[in-house]
Amino acid sequence: MKILKIDHLGIAVNSIDARKNFWTDGLGLSLEATETVEEQKVTTAFLPVGESEVELLESTAPDGPIAKYIEKKGEGIQHVAFQVENIEDALAELKEKGIQLIDQTPRKGAGGAKIAFLHPKATAGVLVELCER
Ligand code: ZN
């Protein structure tokens, strides 16, 4: 498995509109188009930072994973995403190493990426996403 870089940090917010000013006006990052991924009940907004990005995540439904996360832990960093060369190979390798996965096979993420989450039980509480672009 080859990790190429930290692809993005996923940050859970109640409202992208209400929270984006800190990132744009405050830090001077630019917000690229937002995208709703219906299957994950989430709207995402990507703000490039050098070779990585900040991903703001807003739930589209009260029972979505981001809404549940905020209910439990409040707004804040929700996951860290590593870009890998080949996500199927990476998942197979992790399985072989006995690392618990949430996604056994990749699913579709924002921007046409293939993504998969590892189980926080396997990572001491850090939700780790792998993505391939
Ligand atoms: Zn992500």
Distance 56 CA to ligand 1 centre (A): 9
Q: Does the structural domain 3-132 have CATH classification 3.20.20.80? A: no
pLDDT given at position 92: 97
Distance 117 CA to ligand 1 centre (A): 9
Distance 96 CA to ligand 1 centre (A): 24
Of the chain, the end-to-end C-alpha distance in Å amounts to 15
Distance 55 CA to ligand 1 centre (A): 6
Distance 52 CA to ligand 1 centre (A): 11
Ion ligand 1: residues, Cβ under 5 Å: 10, 55, 81, 129
Q: Mean pLDDT over all residues of the chain? A: 95
pLDDT given at position 94: 97
Distance 44 CA to ligand 1 centre (A): 9
pLDDT tens-digit map of 57-107: 999 999 999 999 999 999 999 999 999 999 999 999 999 999 999 999 999
Q: How far apart are CA 58 and CA 29, in angstroms?
A: 18
For 60, the 3-state DSSP assignment is coil
Torsion sign (Cα): 98, 99, 102, 108: negative
User: What is the reported pTM?
Assistant: 0.92
Distance 129 CA to ligand 1 centre (A): 6
Domain residue ranges in the chain:
3-132
What 8-state DSSP symbol labels residue 98? T
Average pLDDT over residues 23-37: 93
